[in-house]
Amino acid sequence: MHSQQVSRTWSLALASALALAILVSQPAQAQTFTVLHNSGGAGDLAIDRAGNLYGTTPEGGPVTEACPYGCGIVYMLAHKGSGWIFTPIYSFAGDNDGENPIAGVRIGSDGSLYGTTSRGGSGYGNCQNGCGTVYSLKPPASACKTALCPWTETVLYRFQGSPDAGTPLSSVTFDNAGNIYGTTAGGGSHGRGTVYEMTPTGQGWKETILYSFTSTPPDGSGVWSGVVLDKAGNLYGTSAGGGAYGYGMVYELTPSGSGWTENVLYSFQGGSDGADPYAGLVFDTAGNLYGATTQWGDYLGGTVFELNPQNGKFAVLYGLYGNNDACYDIHLYICWGPMGRLVMDSGGHLFGANYSDGIYGKGSVFKLTLSGSGWTYTDLYDFTGGADGQWPIGGMVLDANGNLYGTAGTVWEITP
């Protein structure tokens, strides 16, 4: 469902957005929902220390022969008074430059933005319309004197397809040395996706394939999400497919001599534990991993889970409820839970966005609070599919004041 579903999500959300900003509050709850901008794409958001937001749209920007709807943009949303200013800071041109940035961006230690495009680049290989790129965007050296002040793009690597990598759908992450890590949905020795590393050199960046997924049980396939690192430099991630039972798995990659070794930490069984973990993982301060599945579980809407990577202990924290009737209009007989990574605040509360759950079947935002020996679910907002957006896919971010930000074809904010 990868690129076709995302393009459909983006197009429908953009077409249904009727205003630049709206304010919607749910009377039964203390939170306030606000649409900050009506074209916010679908990928992960990033936030800097000043509270500015950065994201991507897979379409938009100048129309070209290669991109009849535009090849995609990177944007910034900045506070101005009581409002927000939306500024496109880079427009992709397609071909060698890259196109269709489904993933969001990350902020590097140098203040530059780093991200991927799912298509474009010179390495056509066995990828349709190019195998994608890794890029960086450097801010202007001096203060902008005009309304539009584009950042400078550098293509760090153009994927070549199998046996190299292809079709990156996830955001990147960094280690303390500044190396970049990410995943691709395609390419690799077996054509089932990869985990890669980008290392800076004197002449640019060197790409290394750390692992190629095989889809042979218990290995995985269908890698939508990126990876996270522990303090020892081990990598952790999920695959939406594969595993011992075909319902996805959680994996660990550890350095081993001159290569990396995969360890499957948990394989989903498609029962009460859930299935298809598209969402990535997040650590708590004790080193436990948290994630979500999009389907099945006791209530058919996916699950939120905890996994201890040291002893392999797995626990379902909450079974998400699937409203079958509300989801029927997108031809899904069960609702889909989170597709973007969860976010955890300093108090250990978890926040997530269901892809197609909620009152209207257009997605919802929730909070899980640890209460005694269990977790309490709070519905923060239900998307209507109108000007507020629909079908959230990307990961969310929290600012220093506890405000929550995400995308659903729009960019939105929930304030406590």
Q: What is the pLDDT of residue 146?
A: 61
pLDDT confidence bin for 228, thresholds 50/70/90: very high
Read off the DSSP letter of residue 357. Answer: -
Q: What is the pLDDT of residue 131?
A: 92
Q: H-helix or E-strand containing 56?
A: strand 53-57
Percent of the chain with pLDDT over 70: 87
Q: What is the pLDDT of residue 44?
A: 92
Average pLDDT for 125-149: 79
Q: H-helix or E-strand containing 324?
A: helix 324-327
Give me the CATH code for the 2-415 domain, please.
2.130.10.130
Sheet holding 289-293, edge to edge: 282-283, 289-293, 300-307, 314-321
What is the spatial distance between Cα 364 and Cα 352, in angstroms, rounded to a whole number? Answer: 8
pLDDT confidence bin for 20, thresholds 50/70/90: very low
Q: Give the model confidence (pLDDT) of 81-100 as tens digits.
A: 888 999 999 999 988 899 99
pLDDT of 214 > 90? The answer is yes
Is residue 295 a contact partner of residue 272, using CB atoms and an 8 Å limit?
A: no
Q: Give the model confidence (pLDDT) of 300-344 as tens digits.
A: 889 999 999 999 999 999 999 866 555 544 444 457 899 999 999
Q: H-helix or E-strand containing 344?
A: strand 343-344
Domain ranges of the chain: 2-415
Bridging pattern class, strands 350-354 and 364-371 = antiparallel
What is the spatial distance between Cα 237 and Cα 184, in angstroms, rounded to a whole number? Answer: 12
Return the closest-CA partner of residue 45 out of 400, 416, 399.
399
Report the phi/psi class of residue 8: left, alpha or beta, with left for phi > 0 and alpha for psi in -120 to 50.
Answer: alpha
Q: Give the model confidence (pLDDT) of 240-262 as tens digits.
A: 999 999 999 999 999 988 889 99
Q: What is the pLDDT of residue 130?
A: 87
Instruction: Say which range, 8-12, 214-218, 296-300, 308-312, has the weakest mean pLDDT.
Output: 8-12
pLDDT of 124 > 50? The answer is yes
Is residue 21 a contact partner of residue 36, using CB atoms and an 8 Å limit?
A: yes
**Exposed e or buried b for every residue in 285-295, given b needs 16+ CB within 10 A?**
eeeebbbbbbb
- Residues ≥6 apart with Cβ < 8 Å to 80: none
Q: What is the pLDDT of residue 25?
A: 32
Instruction: Say which range, 66-70, 178-182, 212-216, has the weakest mean pLDDT.
Output: 66-70
Structure tokens at 313: 């202990």
Residue-averaged pLDDT of the chain = 87
- Residues ≥6 apart with Cβ < 8 Å to 194: 165, 183, 184, 187, 188, 209, 210, 211, 212, 213, 223
pLDDT of 382 > 60? The answer is yes
CB atoms within 10 A of CB 115: 29
Report the phi/psi class of residue 144: left, alpha or beta, with left for phi > 0 and alpha for psi in -120 to 50.
Answer: beta
Q: Give the model confidence (pLDDT) of 388-409 as tens digits.
A: 999 999 999 999 999 999 999 9
pLDDT confidence bin for 112, thresholds 50/70/90: very high
